[in-house]
Amino acid sequence: MSSLNSLRRLWPQRLLHQLLLLLCLALLASHLIGIVLLHRHGSLLHPLSRAASLERLATAFNLARDLPAAQANRMLAKMANPETRFWIAATPEVSAFAARSEEQRLTRDLRQRLQLSPQHSLIVQLERVNGTDARAYPFSPGGWAPLRLRSSLALGNGQYLNAEQHPSGAYQWGTVLAYSLPMTTLPVLLVMMFGFARVLRPIKALAKATERVSRGEWIAPLPLTGPHEARELTHAFNTMQANLARHVEGRTRLLAAISHDLNTPLTELRLQVELLDPGAARDDLLESLGELTAMVGETLEFVRGDAVQEATCQLRLNDLLDELDRRYRLLGQPLTWDVQQQAWLSCRPLALKRALTNLIDNALKHGGATHVTLSQADGQVRLEITDQGPGLPEQWLEKVFEPFVQLGRGGADARSGGGLGLGLAIARACIQAHGGELLLENRKPRGLCALVRLPVGQG
């Protein structure tokens, strides 16, 4: 399992790198398969070396057969070199064996060259210098050893001409691979890199555009470039973004119309209620109408926040926090700051400012003295807004993010808490639209912490 995990860590993550690595593995595998097939079925001897070996054998045989023994031995000694040796003996150097195809071809060609009958004793053996089979597997140690050609030819007088030669192999794999791999791999890799880059370029652009749209941005339609499939995918993305924009705009217009239509009867009801005689019933009705009017307005404002087409820019978060610090200091709020580290964000400033304001106002309202801490680690900006209140029950740490849900003195009651319960919902929607997350945590011994995590931008 550990070795498998190590391989997974070594495996490249980018698609381009994976495709290039797979291509290299495929080219290497094709070379290895070619080596095996040629080694098992191709000619083992280089054609020139094969012809020279047979020619030397024929010359030595004619000399040994036609000249006296002493003179023949002197001539054979002169023909010898570090790669070739001839001698005459009473016994054959090579014993009879089951010849393989390569050795059968050598024997047949030598018989034809010397015009010998099939009954004439002629034995040719091709092997490795270490004694292994000439066609040993190329990936075994013996498969890379040099070749050795041993032969024994009967001279007709009870003597044998023995020979040992070291011909050149047809495939010197070290040399072959040193030339073939670069010459075949590099051009293919360059062409494929160009082709892969052309294919992946629109996909990368689409991935970046998708990330921006997921943060709530609206971007211009992407150009249709690349292969047919990439153009189809880009066209589908452009269509999806246009449909989303129409959906959000339509929802906003619908709620705006509903809000406008509701405001008219609400205004009439308020006028009629105000004409009633003063009393508890009149006050309750006016309070209910005020809550209903506020709820309609807040709902419309909440939906409009999704439809705002604010441009995204690189922002130094410290500047935004300094602006908020001046605002709350002028208001005399019990708010302290611990902002020492520089942090950059890719964000929509007004939307982010609204979200942070909602969180700080909520902390000041329900928890009293509030402390804000800014830090940065692991590619994330971490913002903690901690109050000194009683905190929240564990089961409410997620529920309070739902629209119109607020934990007041009597539970989830907007009237008892003094608000409509949209602040945290708006804040979380904004933070998530920026690719971050918003959590609530109880701190010991007391206090509630709103933890904001946002991806780091480029300064």
Answer for the pair 144, 21: CB distance below 8 angstroms, yes or no.
no
Size (the chain), residues: 459
pLDDT computed for residue 40 by the predictor:
67
Are 267 and 281 part of one and the same domain? yes
Residue 350 lies in a domain: yes
15 lies in some domain: no
Rg of the chain taking only CA atoms, in angstroms: 45
pLDDT of residue 8: 66
CATH number at residue 232: 1.10.287.130
Same domain? For 335 and 262 the reply is: no
Q: Are residues 152 and 258 in the same domain?
A: no
CA distance 354 to 343: 18
- Do residues 148 and 165 lie in contact, with contact meaning Cβ atoms separated by under 8 Å? yes
From 363, 315, 358, 316, select the one nearest 336 (Cα to Cα).
Answer: 363
* 236 and 336 co-located in one domain: no
Per-residue model confidence (pLDDT) at position 25: 81
d(CA 297, CA 83): 101
Q: Looking at the structure, do residues 283 and 321 belong to the same domain, yes or no?
A: no
Residues 367 and 394 in one domain: yes
Q: Are 441 and 449 in contact (CB under 8 A)?
A: yes
Together in a domain, 383 and 282: no
Q: What is the DSSP string of 257-274?
A: HHHHHHHHHHHHHHHHHH
- Statement to judge: residues 356 and 428 lie in one domain: yes
Amino acid type, 190: L
Q: Are residues 233 and 159 in the same domain?
A: no
Q: Using an 8 Å Cβ cutoff, are 173 and 144 in contact?
A: yes
- How many domains does the chain divide into? 3
| Residues of the chain scoring pLDDT < 50 | 307, 409-418
pLDDT at 417: 38
Q: Which of 285, 306, 327 is the last residue of a domain?
A: 306
Domain membership of residue 156 as a residue range: 47-169
**Domain co-membership, 317 together with 439:** yes
One domain for residues 354 and 445: yes
Torsion of CA 267, 270, 274, 280, to 10 degrees: -170
What amino acid occupies position 403?
A: P
DSSP assignments along 129-184, one per residue? TTSSBTT--TTSGGGGSPEEEEEEEE-SSS-EEEEEE-PPBS--HHHHHHHHHHHH
Q: Indicate whether 217 belongs to any domain.
A: no
Decide which of 274, 291, 306 is a domain's last residue: 306
Residues 250 and 328 grouped into a single domain:
no
